[in-house]
Structure 1
Amino acid sequence: MTQPITARSATDLLSLVPYLLGFHLDRGLVVLVCTGRSVELTMRFDLEMFSDNPVQVQARFCHLAARFEHPRFFLAAYSADRDEAESALAILEQVLELDEVIESVYTDGKHWWSRLCDQECCQRVPCDTATAAVASAVLAGSSALGSRAELERSVQGPTLLAQSQLLGAYTEASDRAADLPDVLDRCDRVAELVTTGLEQAGLGEVEACELAKLVDQVGPRDEAWLLMQRPTARRHAALWHQVVGLVPDKWAVPPLCLLAAAAWLDGNGALMGCALDRAHQLDPDYSMLGLLEQMRVAAVHPSMWEQIWPDSA
């Protein structure tokens, strides 16, 4: 989300979590890291992590939180098992001062219960998925898929049947790329295709496959990466999401990494993670993948992009 969204209550913040994650969550623990009036980082933890290695979770949480000046935290645990959720919340609360916690809540998806306030107004409060905050988020272009599994499926590429129907596009794309042996010519063509894709909200099948084939080389790939800017990151992500959905596995890793890079710039850590996970399955030694995975683990803020590449501001 790049436009200001106003949340006035725990109900509002809970309603926004799916739009911050990119999908609806029914099990897990979410932490919103806030500074001033802004959500700087959204973290999601599997509940198993708290029972398997609570000290490691606490250490990772503290490491990430230490990057922010005077942060405050909104904690929300989702589960049908209240004891499991509250145990996880307690583990994080142990490393926080009380005044650092905006709210700590358990939710079963239908109601929420505060761990900080035992008054009736904060116990078994109905969840509202149609708050004014959600309306503002949707109007700003945010969306939330039904589950993380649905998000994962969106980066899996075409089925074998779809690939058979795209053989003509693959052949034409390969021929076009072969007609541009010079790296600088390929970079120019990548810039042209990306610009067109952003302006037209997508490319034709042949052009999208051609783009994937061109970024197989490092120079053209980096040209596409350096064209990204935070204000247009969502459109870049949409373009590379389209490309990933069309190309076979052997062409997919560079587009997946570019999708992850654009998703990171857009603050969409869930999409970034799904794209990187599939890229890792296909080619764990790919160089750009390693860099992006380090950025994900360190929770590098998208604002760092302007420092890394000032011309992108």
Structure 2
Amino acid sequence: MATSTRPESPLDRPGALIAAIPAVLGFVPEKSLVLVTAADGEMGAVLRADLDGRLDESLSCLAELAASSGAETAIAVIVDAEGAGCRVCAEERRDLVGWLATELASQGVELTSSHVVAEVAAGAGWYCGDGCGRTGVVDDPAASPIAVAAVLDGRRLYDRRSELVDVVAPADEAHSAALKHLIEQSAVITERTDAIARADIEHALACAERLEGGRPLTDDQTARLALALSDGRVRDTLYALAVGDHAGAAEALWADLSRRLPEPWRVEALVLLAFSAYARGDGPLAGISLDAALRCRSDHKMAGMLDQALRSGLRPERIRELARTGYRLAGQLGVQLPPRRSFGQRAG
């Protein structure tokens, strides 16, 4: 799930709306039901479900999420290459649209239109999902104003959802197992003083700089980071890096740790990555990271809060306010963090 903050809205132009979907989701959907919500005439949360999944549960969940995001209306886009020209398939899709409309209506959201397309690609034909007879072609997704804005913001767009998932997927299970042994050996029982927390934060800053310079982290450095993130003072301070001048370097560090660390230490890196992505408006990466974090630990408070905020369409600027706590903690510990940057420009 992702949210669009761009003022231009293609809601009344199906070809433009379908073309904008990859930029909002972060990937090109296949075999998917995409629900574009709106309120006050502006695009809101964009939700997706697999057509191959349990549709009864998916439709109910989509309707609840749409309502919680404050949606007044919604537009459905069915992306399915199978069954093109199949009369029975067309009837099944009309049934699906009717079912979705009923679920949305039960949540106070009106389904205003629906479109079916075999693929989200320039020139692909779309037709009305409820049998109204309207047809047209999809605009060029690469030329969508939302796609252009996403690229200018530094977001990468993926051809498939699986490529986005790979950003946080464990890279080497054997190496992660070796790291687990090292982390457990390093976890000597000691008093976690403010001085130790301060040193660990400074170590994290140095590791981000090292990684940004093209030098991979050693296993000892990685093990120390894993243990440091288990300290609430360290972890909560490091959330502030998402709004600092070197946010990009910090996010790269969290992504690296997400792929390399074993459970249970991996979860904190995933949540830091999700927070960083969310703060800069990258809902797709934030969502993928939170899904992985909640699979590691379903009761993680910060992950649960961010997941709920993302699903309800809370704007990134509201999430950035949480970073103030990190700067306050840094001041209490005597740590100098990178200065806050002005959003609207890319992080360094």
The TM-score, its normalising length taken from structure 2, stands at 0.67
1:151 aligns with 2:158: no
- Residue 73 of structure 1 deviates from its aligned partner by 3.6
Counterpart Cα distance in 1 of 2:150 and 2:101: 29
Q: Which residue of structure 1 lines up, in the alignment, with residue 114 of structure 2?
A: 104
What amino acid maps onto 1:204 in structure 2?
Answer: P
Cα 1:174–1:240 shift into 2, 3 Å: farther
Cα 1:51–1:261 shift into 2, 3 Å: same
Cα 1:51–1:38 shift into 2, 3 Å: closer
Contact 1:233–1:263, Cα closer than 8 Å, also in 2: no
What amino acid maps onto 1:76 in structure 2?
Answer: V
1:130 aligns with 2:142: yes
- Residue 42 of structure 1 deviates from its aligned partner by 1.8
Contact 1:77–1:107, Cα closer than 8 Å, also in 2: yes
Structure with the higher helix share, 1 or 2 = 1
Q: Which residue of structure 1 lines up, in the alignment, with residue 333 of structure 2?
A: none
Cα 1:62–1:156 shift into 2, 3 Å: closer
Counterpart Cα distance in 1 of 2:253 and 2:47: 25
Counterpart Cα distance in 2 of 1:236 and 1:89: 43
- Residue 118 of structure 1 deviates from its aligned partner by 5.6
The TM-score, its normalising length taken from structure 1, stands at 0.73
* SS of residue in 1 equivalent to 2:242: coil
Cα 1:57–1:90 shift into 2, 3 Å: farther
Counterpart Cα distance in 2 of 1:197 and 1:37: 42
Contact 1:229–1:265, Cα closer than 8 Å, also in 2: yes
Map Cα deviations across residues 35-55 of structure 1 (whole Å, 9 max, x no partner).
Answer: 567533221233367842587
1:91 aligns with 2:99: yes
Counterpart Cα distance in 2 of 1:34 and 1:132: 18
* SS of residue in 2 equivalent to 1:305: helix
Map Cα deviations across residues 185-232 of structure 1 (whole Å, 9 max, x no partner).
Answer: 424542663487379747731355543331121211111123433998
Counterpart Cα distance in 2 of 1:191 and 1:13: 46
Q: Any residues of structure 2 matched to 1:56-75 within 5 Å, and which?
A: 56-57=60-61, 59-61=63-65, 63-65=67-69, 67=70, 71-75=72-76
- Residue 76 of structure 1 deviates from its aligned partner by 1.4
What amino acid maps onto 1:262 in structure 2?
Answer: S
- Residue 244 of structure 1 deviates from its aligned partner by 0.9
Map Cα deviations across residues 261-281 of structure 1 (whole Å, 9 max, x no partner).
Answer: 223334444433332333333
* SS of residue in 2 equivalent to 1:228: helix
Q: Any residues of structure 2 matched to 1:29-48 within 5 Å, and which?
A: 29-35=33-39, 39-47=43-51
- Residue 21 of structure 1 deviates from its aligned partner by 1.1
Q: Which runs of 5 or more structure 2 residues have no equivalent in the other structure?
A: 84-88, 328-339, 341-348
Cα 1:296–1:36 shift into 2, 3 Å: closer
Q: Which residue of structure 2 lines up, in the alignment, with residue 78 of structure 1?
A: 79
Q: 2:226 aligns with which of 209, 212, 226?
A: 212
Contact 1:24–1:145, Cα closer than 8 Å, also in 2: yes
Counterpart Cα distance in 2 of 1:146 and 1:182: 47
Cα 1:132–1:278 shift into 2, 3 Å: closer
Counterpart Cα distance in 2 of 1:188 and 1:284: 30
Q: 1:239 aligns with which of 253, 265, 277?
A: 253
1:305 aligns with 2:306: no
Counterpart Cα distance in 2 of 1:238 and 1:88: 41
Bigger shift: 38-47 or 218-227?
A: 38-47
Bigger shift: 271-280 or 14-23?
A: 271-280
Contact 2:9–2:42, Cα closer than 8 Å, also in 1: no
* SS of residue in 1 equivalent to 2:230: coil
Counterpart Cα distance in 1 of 2:7 and 2:256: 28
What amino acid maps onto 1:272 in structure 2?
Answer: A
Contact 1:253–1:282, Cα closer than 8 Å, also in 2: yes
Cα 1:220–1:52 shift into 2, 3 Å: same
Counterpart Cα distance in 2 of 1:231 and 1:88: 47
1:193 aligns with 2:204: yes
Q: Any residues of structure 2 matched to 1:170-185 within 5 Å, and which?
A: 181-185=192-196
Aligned length: 304
Cα 1:14–1:173 shift into 2, 3 Å: farther
Counterpart Cα distance in 1 of 2:244 and 2:9: 23
What amino acid maps onto 2:318 in structure 1?
Answer: M
Contact 1:29–1:88, Cα closer than 8 Å, also in 2: no
Q: 2:25 aligns with which of 21, 24, 30?
A: 21
CA RMSD for the aligned pairs?
4.4
Bigger shift: 177-186 or 133-142?
A: 177-186
